[in-house]
Amino acid sequence: MARVRFSFWPGMGFKSWTYLGETQEMTLDIAFGQVGDMMIELIRPNGPWPNVYGQSMPDGCVPHHQGCLVSDVEASSRFAGREAVTRAELSAETELRYFDCRDKTGLFV
C-alpha cells in the first residue's frame, strides 16, 4: 500500500499573481496530498473574483488543472500555443502559469 503524506499551507502568497494580464492580490489555502508520485491539491482561493479558479468552478468543487514541471517555461508556453490565463512567481527560479486547455483536456494545464 502506498504511503500518503499530507500538508496544509493556509494563506500561501505569491510575489506576483496575474489573471488575464491584470495584477491581483491572491493567497491560497492549499492542502497537498502525496500518494506515490502523484500529488493532489485542494485549493481555496482567497482573493478577488473573477479569478482562474472561479472561472472553472461556478458550480462548486471540480477538477481544475493538471500540473507539469518543465525546465523551460517559455518553450513550453510556445508549445501550448496559448496565452497564460494566470501567471505567478513562486520563487526567483520558479514561475506558475495556467493555460486554459479545457477545450482539449477539460482542465487547465
**Nearest partner of 105 among 88, 73, 82, 75, judged by Cα:** 82
The pTM score is 0.83
Task: Give the separation between CA 54 and CA 47, rounded to whole angstroms.
Answer: 10
Task: Give the separation between CA 87 and CA 15, rounded to whole angstroms.
Answer: 11
Mean pLDDT, the chain, integer: 87
pLDDT band at 1, cuts 50/70/90?
Answer: low
> Per residue in 3-46, pLDDT tens?
777 899 999 999 899 999 999 999 999 999 988 888 889 898 99
pLDDT band at 62, cuts 50/70/90?
Answer: confident
Copy the grid coordinates of residue 75.
518553450
